[in-house]
Amino acid sequence: MTLLKIIWPLIFIIPLFSGIIGGLNHRQSLKLSSFGMAFGLFLALILVWMLDEPLILEWKWLESVNFGFSIDRLNALLVLLVYLITLLVQVFSITYMEHDPDQDRYTAKLGFFAFSMIGLLMSNQLVTLFLFWELVGMSSYLLIGFWYQEAGRSRAARQAFMINRVADAFLLLGVIRVFNNGYATSFTETLASGIQWDGFTGICFIIGAFGKSAQFPFYGWLTKAMAGPTPVSALIHAATMVTAGVYLLVRISPALMDWNLQVIAIGGAVTAFMAAVAALTQFDIKKVLAYSTISQLGYMILGIGVGAYQASVFHLWTHAFFKAGLFLAAGSVIHYMHELDATKDPQDMRNMGGLQKILPVTFYAFLICGLALSGLPFLSGFLSKEGILTGSWLWGQSTGNYLVPILAFCTAGLTAFYIGRQILLVFFGEISFAKKMVEPLVTIRVPLIFLAASSLWFWNSINPIDPLGWFWNGYLFADLGATSDQHSILGVLIGSIVLTLSGLGVAYWLFRPEAETARGFKKSNEPVQLAGKISFHGWYIEKFYDQIVRLFSKVVFGAGWFDKKVIDRFVDGVGVSGVVIAKVIGWFDQNVVDGLVNFMASISQLIGRFVTSFQSPKIQIQIGWLLLTLLVLLLWFQFLT
């Protein structure tokens, strides 16, 4: 226990420290920082291995407001995950960013981001959580806007940040309500007290989590976030930032009311379906993956809503590996396309095709991770998704609400289709450009191989079709009493396999190299039918944001007009009348009060002059006065005595 007390602050601070060290060293920044993160990963492994009882650390900040961290098995495991993915991303970036002059800034930002995320995961008090929640938002803003010199990218970063802020405002409101209503202010106390929050507080937290996890209606920011470097997308979308919302919901779900959980389930299902539809028609290799991330996060959220949060955490875990693998593979493809021809858009799938032969390692990594995403048996994604589908099916049976499971199953089929489409379009077909630069370097190969390998089933469960066989299940949920009714149902199992295979089959039929659609794809433009448009524009969510922004700017300009025309006029009137009154008072003061005073002064001056005139230096006048006085005295004695 004492060892853990020593290593947890180290784990907490190492990302920041290695970011600073790396950021100060211009040439070797990423390598230096990777060493630091590797050491942190080692410590995190020790933490996961040794942790038994939750560590709770708290100290007072303000009256009745504490700073607090707690480390239990769940967040220890997630911290390990963050370290692992961050390290892989850094190693990958050594090659990916080698020509970038701002490597040091990149390293520092990565370190800061990992630090904020680990702080968020370790937080126990809601105030601390909110603090790191905001830090994560800010550091992701810094990373998305890494190439801030390009106006479009910095604009995208700003938009992503602002959308997050809207949701964060609700989270803050929720935290404030928790304080005002006198609920326990930390996760551990909330869990221990067993008190349920009122519905509105729950909704505030849910909106906050939906914002960070890019759920409807906030998912627009995640596609904006693609403006950042691709390894950053792997980091943000796979393991870290977007899972913060899922993590928060897992933590607070015991305190939520039933209808709140229903909102979560329906929101997650709707998002999963919408994003899967939006991923169908994208041209941008990263946008497909971004929508797929939104869709998979929808699954996790849905899982929490239906009570299958173990499966959600499991999905979070497996998704982190295969989605990081997909993004890094996509990064490798983009890197290659960029080196090949910098004038073309390196992310547009219309320019790709046939990369299978040129980038074999990338291809196999993408294939395995993509099939894991689609949910084929013997891969990790199947296991965790199966758990969520089973949970949603059972929930549908018990509540009679079959919308959620139906959407979840539709999404399973769509997922297989869009990822199959992407694999076929990027890696198959004929090569339309000259070959160059055969294989990516070892720093690119190692993370890809590692992530692809961890997407196989045996890292997670011995039984390739039992979602409850997850090795970490006993470790994480032993004290919560792992529920036994979530073993796979045969119908769900068969249904999901059939849907996945049919999705892949349709994708193969439509986009196999010989097919019409696959050949026409390279010259295709944006879809024109309504359904295609809705999908391509991601349900017009960004247009929707624009409308809201326009509405708000109208309100703001209206308020500005009112301010200028009415309030300013009024204020000006008050000011002018003040000046007028002051002038009148000034005139009165100058002419009446001062006049009186001056009058008195001049009287005394007159008297003074009169009296001093006796004291003349002219001797004859003095004599005259003398005589006059004598005369007066004489007359006085003569007539008045």
Partner 1 sequence: MMEMINPTYFVFLSLFIFCAGIAIVIIKRSAIFVLIGIELMLNAANLNLVYFSQFDPGMNGVMTSIFVVVLAAAEVSIALAILLNIFKHYKITDPDELTSLKN
- Per CB under 8 A, residues contacting partner 1 are 617-621, 623-624, 627
Closer to partner 1 at the Cβ: 528 or 619? 619
> What does the chain come to in residues?
641
| Shortest Å, Cβ 612 to partner 1 | 13
Say which residue the tokens 């013997």 belong to.
378
8 A C-beta contact, residue 426 and residue 331: no
8 A C-beta contact, residue 356 and residue 315: no
| One-character DSSP codes across 380-418 | HHHHHHHHHHHHHHHHHHHH---HHHHHHHHHHHHHHHH
| Shortest Å, Cβ 600 to partner 1 | 30
Closest by Cα among 7, 165, 30 to 97:
30
Closer to partner 1 at the Cβ: 529 or 615? 615
Rounded Cα distance between 566 and 124, Å, is: 49
8 A C-beta contact, residue 424 and residue 511: yes
State yes or no: cis peptide before 9, omega within 30 of 0: no
Rounded Cα distance between 426 and 358, Å, is: 11
| Shortest Å, Cβ 613 to partner 1 | 15
Q: Kindly compute the dihedral angle of the four CA atoms of residues 186, 191, 195, 200, in this order, to the nearest 10 degrees.
A: 60
8 A C-beta contact, residue 394 and residue 485: yes
Closer to partner 1 at the Cβ: 151 or 619? 619
Closer to partner 1 at the Cβ: 474 or 617? 617
| Shortest Å, Cβ 580 to partner 1 | 52
| Shortest Å, Cβ 621 to partner 1 | 8
Task: Enumerate the H helices of 283-308 as residue ranges.
Answer: 285-305
Rounded Cα distance between 180 and 162, Å, is: 27
Joined together, the tokens standing for residue 554 give: 């109208």
Closest by Cα among 132, 135, 136, 140 to 157:
140
Closer to partner 1 at the Cβ: 523 or 618? 618
| Shortest Å, Cβ 614 to partner 1 | 15
Closer to partner 1 at the Cβ: 612 or 620? 620
| Shortest Å, Cβ 619 to partner 1 | 5
Closer to partner 1 at the Cβ: 437 or 628? 628
Closer to partner 1 at the Cβ: 603 or 631? 631
Closest by Cα among 295, 281, 294, 278 to 510:
281
Closer to partner 1 at the Cβ: 603 or 634? 634
| Shortest Å, Cβ 636 to partner 1 | 20
8 A C-beta contact, residue 325 and residue 452: yes
| Shortest Å, Cβ 638 to partner 1 | 16
